[in-house]
Amino acid sequence: MWTLDFARTKFRDKSGLTAGGSHILGRRWPYEQLGGNMALQDRMMRAFRGEVALYEEVEKDDNATTEAVIVVALGSLSVGVGQALSQMVTGRPSGGAVGIVVSVIVVLAIFAVFSAVVYFVGTRLFGAEATWNEVLNTLGYAYTPNILGIVRVVPVIGPIVAGLASLWSLYLAFVAIRAALDIDTGKTIATILISIIPSVIIAGLILAVTVGSMM
C-alpha cells in the first residue's frame, strides 16, 4: 500500500520504495511538482521574513533563477491587479488586462537590467566575487512582499499595506544584494546608489526601442 510521505513529498510503500505520483482529489500529481511548489512557497515565506540564510541559499542554487523570475512576475502581477481594481472602484481610467500585462513586462525588464548593473558595479568597482545569476536569484526573492500589492483595492488600509510592502521589499533588496556580492554594508549601499541611474536609463532605452518597434 502506498502512503504519502509529507516530509519529503514522495509516495512511499512499507518497503521503502518510492513512486512518482498518486491520485489526489481525482488528479495524478507527480511528487516533483508538489515538492517544487512547496519549496517555492517556503522560500518566499523565508524571503519575506528577511532570513539572510535564505538569500545565501538561493544565491548558489542554479535552479533558483526560474523561481526568482516567477516571484517577480507574481509580485508585479499582484501590484498591477491591485492598482487596476483600485482605479475601477474609484472610477478612474484603467489600462485593464493590457495595462497589467505591460506592467509585468516592464517590471521584469527593470529587474533584469538592475541585476546586471548591480553585478557589474559590485564586481568591477568593489571587488565582489559573484555571477549575474547569483544577483538575479537573490534580488528576485526580495520582490516577495509585493505579492501584497493586490490589497491596494481595499479602501484606506489597502494602499498603506501595499506601500509598507514596497518599502520592505526595498530593504530586502539590500539584504539580497549584500548576500549575493558578499560585501560589507557600506559597499552594498554604494553599489545600489551607483546602479540606480544607469539602470533607469538602460531599461528606458530598451523599453522605448521595444515599444517603437511594435508601432
Burial grade of 54 (CB within 10 A; 0-12, 13-18, 19 or more) = buried
The full set of domain ranges for the chain reads 27-214
Burial grade of 168 (CB within 10 A; 0-12, 13-18, 19 or more) = middle
Considering the chain, what percentage of its residues have pLDDT values greater than 70? 78
A 10 A CB-CB count for 197 gives 10
Amino acid 20: pLDDT: 41
Amino acid 1: pLDDT: 42
User: What average pLDDT score do residues 95-114 get?
Assistant: 86
- Helix (H) / strand (E) element for 144: namely none
pTM of the complete model beyond 0.75: yes
Amino acid 30: pLDDT: 40
Cα(33)–Cα(11) distance, integer angstroms: 13
75 has a pLDDT exceeding 90: yes
Length of the chain: 215
pLDDT single digits (tens) 139-169: 999 999 999 999 988 988 999 999 999 999 9
pLDDT single digits (tens) 16-61: 444 444 333 334 344 344 455 678 999 999 999 999 999 999 999 9
14 has a pLDDT exceeding 80: no
